């Protein structure tokens, strides 16, 4: 981190300075508080605090003998925290990121990929070739709303979505034209009526057509499922990132909105 300006500079931070800034994100702390959270010697901490004070990143309260972040320090700590989470996500799931096409994730969300730090890579195994899809369908149950991006077709997907609509849930999906056509072929009007009244379809279902969909995404009020294409251009059915952490759900909603804004809404009367 290197912001050079005469009279006020934040030069490259040492690891200890970074730890102090991250610790002070929790609030005002004394030297003993910092020692307990950082596990460093007092002399080392005091030296780092002096350097941070010179950089105007911290404020020293000489009356209360405590330290807190200045506005500059607060901004730096946010950036450090975000970088730390991103590094964790990249390292914990490095095989997944290395072997998949990330071009479908817009840059502003790549920069915040640390929000996925609590997700798990769910994989099919030789003894359970349906593990990913089964867990996906189980996670859909009981959802109050479902938003998604689907570049691939699943024969039982339509039935799961219709059950959610039948219970009054809201559903918004971006499909490719090919996937929408195949999904529509699996839905017979008579069967549809078993689950959903027409008024619920018109009120709670929104369908969009998009081109060049490079992610498989489902986000609900309860969970996120996220899949990608491999580097050779085939969608990877055998591995998904899944989880329920609130930051991941927010990230997923933003990714859905990105695709929704770049797609065309379809009149439901043209589908059913």
Rounded-to-5 percentages of helix, strand, coil across the chain: 45, 20, 30
Q: Which H/E stretch holds residue 108?
A: helix 107-110
Query: For position 6, what pLDDT does the model report?
Result: 43
Per-residue model confidence (pLDDT) at position 268: 75
171 bridge partner residues = 146, 205
The whole-number pLDDT of residue 39 equals 85
DSSP string, 180-212: HHHHHHH--HHHHHHH--HHHHHHHEEEEE-SS
Taking only the tens of pLDDT, the chain with its 272 residues reads 444 444 444 558 899 999 999 999 999 999 999 999 998 999 999 999 999 999 999 999 999 899 999 999 999 999 999 888 899 999 999 999 999 999 999 999 999 999 998 899 999 999 988 899 999 999 998 899 999 999 998 878 877 888 888 888 899 999 999 998 888 777 655 455 555 566 566 778 899 999 999 999 999 999 999 999 999 999 999 999 999 999 999 999 999 999 999 999 998 776 66
Q: For the chain, where do the domains classified as CATH 1.10.10.10 start and end?
A: 15-79
In angstroms, the CA 202 to CA 243 distance is: 30
Which DSSP letter does residue 230 get?
B
Task: Tell me the C-alpha distance between 83 and 4, whole Å.
Answer: 20
Tally Cβ neighbours within 10 Å of residue 42.
11
Can you give the pLDDT at residue 157?
Answer: 80
Which part of the chain is CATH 3.30.870.10? Answer: 93-270
Tell me what pLDDT residue 142 has: 85
Q: Which two tokens stand for residue 132?
A: 């990913």
Q: Which of 216, 131, 233, 141 minimizes the C-alpha distance to 173?
A: 216
pLDDT the model gives residue 3: 44
Residue 186 phi, psi (nearest 5): -85, -10
Distance of CA 246 to the CA centre of its chain: 9
The CATH number for 15-79, chosen from 1.20.1630.10, 2.30.110.10, 1.10.10.10, 1.10.760.10, is: 1.10.10.10
Residues contacting residue 215 through CB under 8 Å, at least 6 positions apart: 104, 105, 149, 151, 226, 227, 228, 255, 259
| pLDDT of the residue at 9 | 47
pLDDT of residue 219: 97
Q: What is the pLDDT of residue 193?
A: 55
State the pTM of this model: 0.81
Q: Looking at residue 244, what is its pLDDT?
A: 94
Report the pLDDT value the prediction gives residue 197, as an integer from 0 to 100: 62
Q: At what angle do helices 71-92 and 15-24 cross, to 10 degrees?
A: 110
Give the residues across from 115 on adjacent strands: none
The reply to whether CATH 3.30.870.10 applies to domain 93-270 is yes
């Amino acid at each position: 981190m290197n912001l050079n300006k005469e009279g006020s500079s934040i030069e490259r931070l040492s690891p200890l300075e970074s730890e102090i800034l991250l610790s002070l994100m929790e609030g005002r702390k004394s030297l003993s508080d910092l020692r307990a959270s950082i596990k460093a010697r007092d002399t080392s901490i005091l030296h780092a605090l002096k350097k941070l004070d010179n950089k105007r990143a911290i404020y020293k309260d000489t009356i209360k003998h405590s330290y807190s972040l200045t506005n500059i320090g607060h901004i730096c700590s946010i950036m450090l925290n975000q970088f730390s989470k991103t590094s964790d996500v990249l390292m914990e799931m490095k095989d997944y990121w290395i072997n998949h096409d990330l071009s479908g994730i817009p840059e502003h969300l790549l920069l915040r990929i640390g929000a996925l730090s609590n997700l798990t890579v769910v994989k099919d195994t030789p003894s359970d070739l349906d593990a990913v899809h089964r867990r996906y369908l189980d996670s859909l149950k009981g959802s109050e709303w479902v938003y998604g991006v689907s570049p691939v077709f699943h024969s039982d997907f339509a039935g799961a979505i219709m059950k959610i609509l039948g219970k009054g849930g809201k559903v918004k999906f971006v499909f490719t034209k090919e996937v929408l056509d195949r999904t529509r072929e699996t839905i017979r009007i008579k069967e549809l009526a078993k689950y959903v009244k027409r008024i619920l379809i018109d009120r709670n279902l929104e369908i969009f057509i998009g081109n060049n969909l490079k992610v498989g995404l489902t986000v609900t009020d309860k969970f996120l499922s996220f899949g990608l294409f491999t580097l050779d251009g085939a969608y990877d059915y055998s591995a998904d990132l899944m989880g329920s952490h609130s930051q991941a759900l927010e990230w997923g909603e933003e990714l859905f909105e990105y695709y929704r804004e770049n797609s065309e809404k379809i009149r439901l009367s043209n589908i059913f």
